[in-house]
Structure 1
Amino acid sequence: MSEAVTARPDYDVIILGAGMAGTVLGAVLARRDVRVLIIDAGVHPKFAVGESTTLYTLKGFRQLAERYDVPELEYLTSYEGGLSNIGPTSGVKKHFGFMLHHEGLEPDPREVNQFSPPSKALQTGHLFRQDTDAFLFHTAIKYGCDVRQGFRVSDLELGEHQVSVADPSGERFTARFLVDGSGFRSPVADKLGLREAPDALKHHSRSLFTHMIGVRPTDEVLRMEPEDLPPIPWVEGTMHHMFERGWFWSIPFNNEPRSLNPLVSVGLTFDERLYPRQEGMTPEEEFRFHAARFPAVERVFKDAKTVRPWVSTGRLQYSSKQTVGHRWCLMSHAAGFIDPLFSRGLTNTTEVINAFAWRLFEALEEDDFDVERFAYVDTLQKGLIRCNDDMVNCSFIAFSDYELWNAVYRVWAAAEVPINLRFDRFIDRFRETRDDRVFRSMEDLPYPGLLMPDQPSYKLLFDDMVRLCEDYEQGRTTAGAAARELMDRIQRSEGVLRGIGLEDRERRFMFPGIPELKDMTAWLTQQAPAEMRYLAPADASGSTAGARSASEVIIPE
């Protein structure tokens, strides 16, 4: 069907996908009176994974809430906010927990790590996506979005003057712009042939996952001495049970007394080249087959029962040659995906919406949808995919040797506190000025998508990690030699925050208290590279480091 140009399309924006990405963007747009239609083939409430949040995720939601005046997004930044406004079905997340396993053996207490980034104001959690996604869906409707559930897109047109989508019955809607937030089976990616070849990405993994009841907390199944236990119980965080080129996850929704949800999200993600599908096995049989290889993991899931059908995937990784075009955008998981390790999915979503929404507002206002206007969004999304591909690929390589993993883990952790301080500083300035140019200046970056996108010293360290892990994988060095060199570079790098133990290879548990935070603040204000000093946070007493008030924090030009 040729493009039929009308005087006024049905909508300003059509969004494909009523998951978190689509509904958050819909609420942001409709809050400013943009005419939005959200379309989804499914119906809420619906199952979704991607339940584990990070401080970075929450800072992204806070930025969206304040920048675009959608206060409901602030509820996602604390357990109390979610409990009071969404429902008692999510869990708490007080740490990232990592435990390495070897076949047939009990886990070694020296081969574990726990990381708990400090925050008083925000509380990371395990979001029961069925409820949080429905809440966000209803929020988008409240602000004015129209919705069509159970609408399967069978045809779409991306014209010069408008876009349109239609279902098999021929019902059609038109708009000025189309956002595809649907995921892997993106209609826009299919229509335009946008998926890159599989060898565009380094990492390989497939996944089995479901929700279960009766999952035992890791703390209850371990045969370790009390002195081997971390400062926070394992059950109070996102648990990663790692083994050679794979990991099990356990994300409890029932780990807080006020939660009424007995479920635990469980899954297995592993390299499909080393672990091809087992012929004749159901997904659950395959999951239990691999869990039985590791005694402690087997005990975690021994009495667990599934409450919904298992999902079994092929290779998870995909990316796109292009994520923006004339009057269209592939957003977040429609653009690409790597692996759930490190809980990057929701974080990337908030970052992309922040970069995309203000550009779309201006395009609609000026009626100018030139692709160059959205070029940064494309650069950002490709950078996020590329960085996560390198980070996860290095981690899977390192799972075969604890010392190498211990170093790779620290490269990841080295970004977790600074990136959140970066958000704090810009949010501080925005609260003072209410000037959106503050947030726009966050995009003036040398390395969009990198975990610390404005820090050259961290970029050097990250590149060293990638080189050393790939040298080990290709047999050009040993795991021990790669681990020693990477740890040495961590200890010498100017881009690694001091004061919380990142440079100490023996420190398995990172739970910064007031003394560590004071040391960190002193280092940031007195010894850090010049480009990092603006990150200096309020100290433990509540005053700002170096006697600087929030209004005196200098945002780099």
Structure 2
Amino acid sequence: MPGHLSGNLAGLRAASPPGRHDVIILGSGIAGSTLGAILAKQGVSVLLLDGGTHPRFAVGESTTLYTLKVFRLLARRYGIPELESLTSYAGIHDDIAPTSGTKRHFGFIRHEEGKEPDPAEFLQFSPPSKALQTGHLFRQDTDAYLFHTAIGYGCDVQQAFHVEDVELAEDHVAVVGGNGERYEGRYLVDASGFRSPLARQLALRRPPESLKHHSRSMFTHMLGVRPTDECLRVGPEDAPPIPWVEGTMHHLFDRGWFWSIPFNNAPGSKNPLVSVGLTFDERRYPRNRELTPEAEFRSFAARFPAVERLFADARTVRPWVSADRIQYTSTQTVGHRWCLMSHAAGFIDPLYSRGLTNTGEVVNSLAWRLFDALAEDDFDEERFRYVDELQQGLIRYNDELVNCSFISFQDHSLWNAVYRVWCAAEVPINLRFDRFTERFVDSGDDGVLRAWEEAAHPGLPVPGSEGYKALFDEMVRVCEAVDRGERTAADAGPDLLKTVVNSPVVLDHLGLRDPECRFVYPMPDDLRRMANWLRHDGPAELRYLTTGVDVRGLPLEAELDDEMGLPH
């Protein structure tokens, strides 16, 4: 809650000299506009500079339950109610535009060339939540909404501004445009993305070999993409509890995956489009420069019968984006009076939809530090050290997770194990977030959220859990041994599955310990049993997750009734 932020921010905007801003933000996408709105609401003079204009296409369309919780916290911590509109399908539909889709699950189907997918290998994960509904964001509308929100709170803006030079001095920063126009400020945040002017000027990009994962990507929006449910030749006994079309679909193959993210999968949507993409290891599948992206995409889809049916009648509605290796990272993400934020700092792969979550986490950790720095006129790099540790950790662990996933796609048993390591973090990380949010709401003390950052492994999916760190590291060890040819995937998969089943930090009663459980769809009784197990028999390091409220944010003593209903 903004009234509990430290630092005396009153009058900051009024105190700024003409032509000078407190904070200059490069990039007005979700990251830049969200941070800009938060700062401006508290009286900080903010200038948003962007090389493009709104509305515009952007990727990063699939949210997670954790994404929504982070943005809801940002709304409440910093007094920006507009951010809450992103946390439900109804909020997006009513407050922004009826152009986004719903997301009720993560769906994974493994394919082999020339074969129909085996339904025994179908996997679906539906995170337990009743209050929040994940969605597929039509980014040209959601980004424009946040951009306008930032302006409404007082941000100055310049669109179509091309950065020519950045000045970083001891007592100020400045940005110079191609036409010589110069803007001066006290702090610079670069949220512009891969082509970060600051990263370029300071030569901050690490060499490509510093990252383990390899993939290139192509993507667009299409009309006429068929629902996955209509393209599978299986009986009703192999249908998941939630139709495939109601979630983010991952069609996996050896060292790559297709995505299908529908915006047209909810009754209230007026958007007929589907986001479509292909991401695959550029070493295994080098780019054919003689083919257009459309031709390459369709020729690759034709290798897999069910995928070919998915796109058989689809028509492209916007130019393809086709990129060579998409991984990058930076040697440092903070310095004296500057910060590289979110995708300006680095990127790995869209697998697991982590981009928007990471953005929200970084905004949350940076904003309060900026308030303090502005109030005290002290921009020492050490003040922002955690922001760098968080961003480096997010990149590192995502790099390892996605790399292991790509290695595992060749064999279902290994992929099934890696999938469960990923799933094993999804409920604990949300519960951890809930515990600290509850304490913050009850006390109004912003220090509670600062204490939340005190974890041994920033960026790890469960940052405070040594048990999960051990499980994660074992996954990396096993998969990298497979990648080096020291063992086969078929041999390694059962061993890693045993490790998952026997790990004390894999929560009971969700189906994660059962390798034959294809569809993780916990019912209210399952959640009750899980909470009871966690309270009495779970590992000591995770028992705090049940303190105060249950897995859905309700008081522990509350009964599950019809009103609470199914948490999906």
Establish whether TM, by shorter chain, passes 0.5: yes
Q: Which residue of 1 aligns with 2:221?
A: 211
SS in 1 for 2:71: helix
The DSSP-based 3-state class of the residue aligned with 1:255 is: coil
Residues 107/534 of structure 1: CA separation in 2 closer, same or farther (3 Å cut): same
Show CA shifts across 1:336-356 (max 9, x none). 000000000000000001111
Q: How does 1:246-285 map to 2 (within 5 A)?
A: 246-285=256-295
Q: Give, in angstroms, the shift of residue 546 of structure 1.
A: 6.8
* Cα distance in structure 1, aligned partners of 2:233 and 2:179: 60
Q: Distance in 2 between matches of 1:541 and 1:125?
A: 19
Structure 2 length-normalised TM:
0.94
Aligned to 1:260, the other structure's residue is in SS state coil
Find the counterpart in structure 2 of residue 351 from structure 1. Answer: 361
* Secondary structure in structure 2 of the residue aligned to 1:210: strand
Partner of 2:249: 239
Give the 3 Å change call, closer, same or farther, for CA 539–163 of structure 1 in structure 2.
closer
The reply on whether 1:329 has 2:339 as its aligned counterpart is yes
Conserved in 2, the CA contact under 8 Å of 1:9 and 1:162? no
Q: Does 2:453 correspond to 1:443?
A: yes
| Cα-to-partner distance string for 1:108-143 (whole Å, 9 max, x where unaligned) | 001110000100000000000000000000000000
User: Does the 8 A contact of 2:409 with 2:415 survive in 1?
Assistant: yes
Say whether 1:160 aligns with 2:170: yes
**Structure 1 residue 296 displacement after superposition:** 0.4
Query: Does the Cα contact within 8 Å between 1:15 and 1:26 map onto a contact in 2?
Result: yes
Q: In the alignment, which residue of structure 2 is the partner of 1:299?
A: 309
Q: Give, in whole Å, the separation in 1 of the partners of 2:294 and 2:118.
A: 27
Percent identity, aligned pairs only, is: 65
Q: Which of these residues, 233, 236, 239, is aligned with residue 226 of structure 1?
A: 236
Give the aligned partner of residue 197 of structure 2: 187
Q: Partner of 2:526 in structure 1?
A: 516
Once residues 463 and 540 of structure 2 are traced to their aligned partners in structure 1, the CA distance between those partners, rounded to angstroms, is 15
Displacement of 1:390 after TM fit? 0.3
Q: TM-score, normalised by structure 1?
A: 0.96
- Is the CA contact 2:213–2:399 (under 8 Å) kept in the aligned structure 1? yes
Aligned to 2:22: 12
Q: Secondary structure at the match of 2:119?
A: coil
For the residues of structure 1 that align with 2:452 and 2:76, how far apart are their CA atoms? 15
CA contact (8 A) 1:13 1:177 kept: yes
The one-letter amino acid of 2:282's match is: E
3-state SS, counterpart of residue 205 of structure 2: coil
- State how 1:309-320 maps to structure 2 within 5 Å: 309-320=319-330
Q: How many residues align?
A: 543
Q: Which amino acid is 1:396 matched to?
A: F
> What's the counterpart of residue 94 of structure 1?
104
Please tell me whether residue 308 in structure 1 is matched to residue 312 in structure 2.
Answer: no
Query: Is the contact made by 1:525 and 1:545 (CA closer than 8 Å) also made in structure 2?
Result: no
The SS at the match of 1:440 is helix
**Quick check: 2:40–2:154 contact (8 Å CA) kept in 1?**
yes
User: The residue matched to 1:391 in structure 2 has which SS?
Assistant: helix
CA distance in 2, matches of 1:317, 1:179: 21
Q: Give the structure 2 partner of residue 40 of structure 1.
A: 50
Q: Distance in 1 between the 2:104 and 2:529 partners?
A: 22
Contact 1:244-1:396 at 8 Å conserved across structures: yes
Q: How much has 1:482 moved relative to structure 2?
A: 1.4
Match of 2:398 among 388, 407, 421: 388
**Per-residue deviation, 1:41:** 0.6
Per-residue CA deviation, residues 475-531 of structure 1 (Å, 9 max, x unaligned), is 111212211121111111111111111110000000000121011111111111222
Moved more, 483-492 or 84-93: 483-492
Alignment of 1:12-161 (within 5 A): 12-161=22-171
1:478 aligns with: 488
What is the distance in 1 between the residues matched to 2:551 and 2:134?
20
Deviation at 1:544, TM superposition (A): 3.2
After TM superposition, the structure 1 stretch with the greater mean CA deviation from structure 2, 345-354 or 492-501, is 492-501
Residue correspondence of structure 1 range 366-515 to structure 2 within 5 A? 366-515=376-525
Quick one: distance in 2 between partners of 1:409 and 1:531? 23
| Alignment-mate amino acid for residue 301 of structure 1 | F
Q: Secondary structure at the match of 1:15?
A: strand
The RMSD of aligned alpha carbons is 1.4
Contact 1:521 1:545 (8 Å CA) reproduced: no
